[in-house]
Amino acid sequence: MLPKIKVFSWRISHNILPTYDNTARICHKFSNVCPKCKNREETLIHAMKDYPMTHEILTLRGLNNKLLNESYKCYIDWLEDVLCKLDAKATADFFTLLCDKIIQPP
């Protein structure tokens, strides 16, 4: 696994990616609304699973619909369920996909 993917996955597991929700916790006047869809708070679970483009990419890549449609409060709970279903190669592909295709500036 590439070092940038390892760092990215570590940041995900510790919920320290710079989502608008995390930024708003530090800077209280900062809006936590997703800048891309403007429909919901940009939490980690929204950015990585619920955001429409993300959801479509994960569906096209063959991720189980039950895992995409089930409601999770914490991203780490969803990620744990996903990783239990994937083998090592699929896990590396999953993190590469998230890192390269989903995390883009607004």
Each domain of the chain, given as residue ranges in start order, spans 14-102
CB 21 within 8 A of CB 66: no
- Which tens digits make up the pLDDT trace of 60-98? 777 777 778 888 888 888 888 888 877 777 777 777 777
Q: What is the model's pLDDT at position 103? A: 57
Please tell me the predicted confidence (pLDDT) of residue 102.
56
The answer to whether 47 touches 102, Cβ cutoff 8 Å, is yes
Burial pattern 3-30, b for ≥16 Cβ within 10 A else e, equals eebeebbeebeeeeeebbbbebeeeeee
Record the tokens describing residue 91, joined without a space.
């896990």
Band the pLDDT of 31: cuts 50, 70, 90.
Answer: very high
Check residue 26 and give its pLDDT.
93
Torsion, CA 58, CA 63, CA 64, CA 69, rounded to 10: -20
Of the listed ranges 4-8, 54-58, 61-65, the least confidently predicted one is 61-65
pLDDT of residue 104: 58
3-state secondary structure of 67: helix
